[in-house]
Amino acid sequence: MNVLYIIGNGFDRWHGLPTSYCDFYKYSKQTLDQYKYFFEQSGVTEPWSDFENNLGEYDWELLYCEYEQPNLSSESFRSSYVYGLEDGITEQTESLVSDITSEFESWVNSIDITNVSPKMCFIPESKFLSFNYTNTLQSVYKVPHGHVKHIHGNVDTREKLIFGHCSMRMEPSEFDEDGYSNSKYFHDAENAARKPLAALKKPVEFIIDNLSHWFDSLTDIDCIVVLGHSLNSVDMPYFKRIFEFNPSAEWVVSCYSTSECEKHRGSLVNIGITIDKIRTCDLDKISEVLDQ
């Protein structure tokens, strides 16, 4: 049987690793608290607990309004004041993106897996798609590096770690319906304030296109086993691509509660997988289910 394992963050957490976004918040609380005002999190009991989706709630107007706009009607007005406004906002937004990115990478690199022990057995010669940045598969389970694709980067390589939101929020067009410019005097300053929304977006479609040869090679899979992945909306395009090349494959998906199992089945059905192809179970029962 040809098996593809899809590994999510819940797999590392199952092994006792501090890899939740709540753990990230504990690690980087000072920096994240500095910027949380710009990311709408009303009614949230645990700040940044939905980190990637929180990034998509960035409110550029809150940041923009922290700066005093030059008075265009003032006799003392100079065009250099507008450039100064843009420069100030650009400096702050670049720091925001840089600080969040640096903190995230520092946290990921701080995760120690040396005392982790195996908790399950994998079917030999299987392929692995890992959404995790850690080397739990290679170090703990001795899976050959060539069998694992870290789709968002890996701590042991010099690749950039990829994270971000999938918000499709529409920004105002530079032109109206008649083709006339909507540009205002402070248009460039406003664009500078908007930049974090684009900079902190996960480029899922680009990644899929860039790894098309790898995805295209997954055409002989009999069973797809999802371990510890939340099947969040950010990552569902990857699952859809895999399904499109393996429409007859069986899916075995881990979940920790009845409600999560229901949610996971719904997410997979939404991308075209028929319910009869989906089995759900607790992570502890995965090997047992695969033996059936």
Q: Using one digit for the tens of pLDDT, what is the confidence trace for 192-238?
A: 999 999 999 999 999 999 999 999 898 899 999 999 999 998 899 99
Residue 93: phi and psi, rounded to 5, are -70, -35
Give 154: exposed, middle or buried? Use CB within 10 Å, 0-12, 13-18, 19+.
buried
Residue 77: phi and psi, rounded to 5, are -65, 135
Q: Using one digit for the tens of pLDDT, what is the confidence trace for 121-139?
A: 999 999 999 999 999 999 9
Question: What is the average pLDDT value for the chain, to the nearest integer?
Answer: 89
Query: H or E stretch including 224?
Result: strand 223-227
Query: H or E stretch including 84?
Result: helix 79-110
